[in-house]
Chain A
């Protein structure tokens, strides 16, 4: 395991932020830490990246202890934080070369990697403009490029797409997917189930400083029940009749029918209703959200 953490605890004053978190990430895999604001995601990342000392617990990155060998840990990781960590008054190119030099790349290597990364992230045209003129999406891309300059073994991405518009979010997902293909180990945090689903091999669900569930995206979805079709009826007679012909869960005047989310299944459900002379008032399809996951797992 390239990232290994056991029993991480941290409190600020009387507030417990982490209540014993265990994590492990296999080399070349992607782990998503999923949870709402205040769940302890950022604190976990800050401990693993040597920025914060835990009150107790241990963690190693590539075999190096984050508390005893922070300098070695910093040599093999990179961190892209929630807010783009870039110098506003330097150009994109200057930012990249600077970080390359601080990662102790030679001057020429730093410049070559800078050119490559600017190209890869589509920032070549903007490379000699000061970062203050960049859009939010460009900043995040530059930020990620800066994290990659010395080819780190483990990359930490703290909410990489929070606050981005949809187009920039997709671009960011593509960039991350490319890293995954190259076999980089990634630990990312997110508030979005969709993002975790899309990028991660394994998901760890964090709530109030505790891990409430972990597993693959599919396993988690099965655990909380997957997609469903909601059928709302105007009266109880129709509702009960529908419940007799379709398997589902009744909640007030709504029948929840589990679904695989395909159009074919929706057709089938509507056909069954029509054949039985039933007309629901409203039909809606419902995908599990982070809220559902939390309600299901923390209630």
Chain B
């Protein structure tokens, strides 16, 4: 790509980000649910289930990192629906017939998704502090935790965008993204994997969400890190690479039908 081509591609991406963020802000239902639902889930786990779950620590301290991952899962699944909706509206044909890089359209959606997720994550963190979450991590620990969460959100948003592209309808996008909502329940988010039956434990311990949660836990509340940081980083980078390639190639293939 020439120098001018790079500039044009960046300008296209900025225009598309502008569009997606504006549309996201005006899609009040989705915004409301993606901000409110994680708060309800957190209240549910802290006040309703929390008393019955023994994790050896104050449950609110244990569960907040898990809630953060659950939040991003909700955010990503609504991204899949937004993208699917866009792919079936009339606008996408116009966008495809314009001289812009296919990357720009999806970048717009992903950035809007990350922005929405970052907002809801910040709200959840503030609310958790009000509910008694007492992290011990210093500034650097927080920065590291936030960076990892951000990387995870970006990767998950690209995956969601890819699912949105292949989905035949908004409903099927919602179904396809179900596993993003379900996976946290099979991780160490809410209970310790040791309490699970022996056949489920390996699944829980070796899926991508557990190392991310354990890393955030270790950074914020000081549980042992072991090799979780490296595994989490590897999962996130791998997922990001895979998802970007998947989403852009699916988008391009859909253009050729």
Residues on A close to B: CB < 8 A?
49-53, 71-72, 74-75, 77-79, 81, 83-90, 94, 98-99, 101-104, 130, 146
Contacts and interface: CB of A to CB of B under 8 A. Distances in A.
Interface string B86-120: 00011111111111100000000000000000000
B23 interface: yes
Nearest to B255: A51
A294 B201 CA distance: 69
Nearest to A50: B97
B3 interface: no
A146 B99 contact: no
B97 A74 contact: yes
A90 B22 contact: yes
Contact of A98 (B15, B92, B255): B15
B100 A89 contact: no
Contacts of A87: 19, 23, 91
Sort chain B's interface into a size bin: 20 to 34
Contact of B94 (A50, A53, A85, A94): A85
A89 B99 contact: no
Given A86-B91, A90-B22, A52 B256 contact: yes
A98 B92 CA distance: 13
B12 interface: yes
15 contacts: A51-B96, A52-B256, A72-B99, A74-B97, A81-B90, A83-B90, A85-B89, A85-B91, A86-B91, A89-B26, A94-B22, A99-B94, A101-B11, A102-B16, A103-B99
B55 interface: no
Contacts of B92: 85
B8 interface: yes
Interface of B: 8, 11-12, 15-16, 18-19, 22-23, 26-27, 89-100, 255-257
A78 B100 CA distance: 13
Contact of B100 (A51, A102, A146): A102
Contacts, number: 67
Given A52-B256, A79-B97, A94-B22, A104 B90 contact: no
B23 A89 contact: yes
Contacts of B97: 49-51, 74, 77-79
A86 B11 CA distance: 20
Contacts of A77: 97
B99 A71 contact: yes
Given A52-B257, A53-B256, A75-B99, A81 B11 contact: no
A79 B93 contact: yes
Between B15, B90, B97, B256, the greatest number of chain A beta carbons within 10 A of the residue's beta carbon is seen for B97
Contacts of B26: 89, 130
A78 B255 CA distance: 16
Nearest to B26: A89
